[in-house]
Chains A and B, each alone.
Chain A
Amino acid sequence: MINYNYIMETISMIEKEKLDIRTITMGISLLDCISENGQICRNKIYDKVTKKAEKLVMTGEHIEKEYGIPIINKRISVTPISLIAQACEDTDYVKFAQVLDKAAIAVGVNFIGGFSSLVHKGYTKGDDILIKSIPKALSETERVCASVNVGSTKTGINMDAVRQMGKIISHTAKLTEKQDGIGCAKLVVFANAVEDNPFMAGAFHGIGEPDTVINVGVSGPGVVKVALESCKDEPFDVVSDTIKKTAFKITRMGQLVASEASKRLNVPFGIVDLSLAPTPAVGDSIARILEEMGLEACGAPGTTAALALLNDAVKKGGIMASSHVGGLSGAFIPVSEDEGMIHAVKIGALNIEKLEAMTCVCSVGLDMIAIPGKTSPETISAIIADEAAIGVINNKTTAVRIIPVFGKDVGDEVVFGGLLGNAPVMDINGFSSKSFIERGGRIPAPVHSMKN
């Protein structure tokens, strides 16, 4: 039976409200590529990635056409390279990044994540080499994404890693300064990183995962915004219910695409990530949803409460729609990738302190924020420490993806292009955190992590 309204609703969501599948990400384990010889290991990596993901892009495109739903990105995540490369005697892992880049280009995916290291408690030899290789790896490759996990609720925060990551971010920005520090847009510092995140730049394939897996990330801020337009002046109970219903529909579509991709590629289905991911396009913004709830501009008092409600309602609506929910699942607030956020920063409504507060209640953290190039590595480390503390204490994932832009200062504009968007350079508190960061060591795990 035709339900005319349902069909027109779906078509309107796709056509006018920019509903899409943000990414189909294939996770590939590289554990069977380990070798004592670096070149043999890299050959095995290239062969495995290109073989397993050979049909990923083509299959994604077929599903896109058959169902009439745009699938924006097809991507790959791999086992953290620090684990794979450390058996060999190489003292620099840039060549591993290059082989990932080559494999990504060969299969036609736009990003490959997993140039990663997990050091929330300490470093192994491989972690040490990988982290030192990040700046050069990101400046010499196009599609490789790197991430480092520096803290977890179970282990606390590794402040030595926090200190080092400030320097690594700064160095990466310097090496890519001609492109406004774009290397840093491909580098995420996590606390409580998840093993099945399909979204870049923080995706990697965890060691608890199967050999290969399909994870799907949905999107649809525009759909939520339009749904909320119909409940002007209604109480929050109605707002929350409306978001839940919309999130349910969006996630059902994600589940359909995920199970179809899994079936066609003969790769197990992992999870659907319920995140609301914005793009720089008008009508695809998280900030505009918050404003629709009654705020004059994103960043005004009330913004954190609005975001908390949104994040929670998205999860409640999405959970029943998918057989397995995972990844980051929540609302993303990347400044440069969200037209409304960019506007809010430009008019002075949104600053980095408010963004930090917002990260307490949304899915990730300080994301895609351009800061002045003169910001010291210690200050960057201290920003990471603050975010990690929010994640560790609140038992949630937090991340920092900030971009120091050399030669630019507060108020200047940075253009990354494409999905990465453009960002106004934001002001940073100028007081020093140097002595704090120089201490190093580990901040112990919080008392509420002792659950056994």
Chain B
Amino acid sequence: MRAVITVIGKDRIGIIAGVTALLAENQINILDISQTILQDFFTMVMIVDTKKCELKFEDLQTRLRVKGEEMDLSIRIQHEDIFNSMHNI
């Protein structure tokens, strides 16, 4: 399935490296990525494909959250349909 990962937090070195390494370890393919700094706040949005990921969605969610806590970031993964249904007719 396609999911949206959002990473929000204070900017520092190695955020993208840290997050993408975890995704690669779990066979998650990044389809699209967009990142910006807003008033010192790092925000990144990624669209990923979790088809080959062997973890259950909930476990993946937990790993991302734990990774986020380690790096003092908020990392979230959600099914992309919630964004599609809310903003596209």
Contact = CB atoms under 8 A, between A and B. Distances in A.
A7 B4 contact: yes
Nearest to B76: A68
A431 interface: no
Q: By CB atoms of chain A within 10 A, which of B6, B45, B76, B82 has the most?
A: B82
A6 B45 CA distance: 11
Given A2-B45, A8-B45, A66-B57, A253 B85 contact: yes
Contacts of B6: 7-8, 11
Given A7-B4, A11-B76, A66-B57, A1 B83 contact: no
Contacts of A62: 58
Contacts of B61: 65
Contacts, number: 59
Contacts of A69: 78, 82
Contact of A7 (B45, B77, B85): B45
B86 A67 contact: no
A255 interface: yes
Interface string A1-31: 1111011111100000000000000000000
Contact of B81 (A4, A65, A67): A67
B40 interface: no
Interface string A411-445: 00000000000000000000000000000000000
Interface string B60-87: 0100000000000000111101110111
B86 A249 contact: yes
Contacts of A11: 6, 8, 76
A66 B85 CA distance: 14
Contacts of A9: 87
A10 B34 contact: no
Contacts of B15: none
Interface in A235-253: 249, 252-253
Contacts of B4: 7
Contacts of B34: 2, 4
Contact of A10 (B32, B43, B57, B82): B82
A255 B58 CA distance: 23
A4 B47 CA distance: 11
Interface residues of A, number: 21
B32 A249 contact: no
A83 B87 CA distance: 44
- Contact-size category for B: 20 to 34
Nearest to A260: B81
Which of A1, A6, A11, A255 has most B Cβ within 10 Å?
A: A11
A196 B39 CA distance: 47
Contacts of A1: 32
Contacts of B77: 68
Contacts of A67: 78-79, 81-82
B56 to A, nearest CB: 10
The 8 A-B residue pairs with the shortest CB-CB distance in the complex, in nearest-first order? A68-B78, A6-B87, A256-B85, A67-B82, A252-B85, A249-B86, A2-B34, A66-B79
Given A6-B83, A10-B82, A68-B77, 8 more contacts: A1-B32, A2-B32, A2-B34, A7-B4, A11-B8, A11-B76, A62-B58, A256-B85
Given A2-B34, A65-B58, A256 B82 contact: yes
Given A11-B6, A11-B76, A65-B58, A3 B87 contact: yes
A8 B34 CA distance: 12
A65 B65 CA distance: 12
Interface in A58-93: 62, 65-69
A9 B87 CA distance: 10
A447 to B, nearest CB: 42
A2 B47 contact: yes
Contacts of B83: 3, 6-7, 10
Contacts of A65: 57-58, 61
B82 A68 contact: yes
Contacts of B76: 11, 68
Interface in A274-298: none
A4 B45 contact: yes
B13 to A, nearest CB: 23
Contacts of A8: 6, 43, 45
A322 to B, nearest CB: 11
Contacts of B57: 65-66
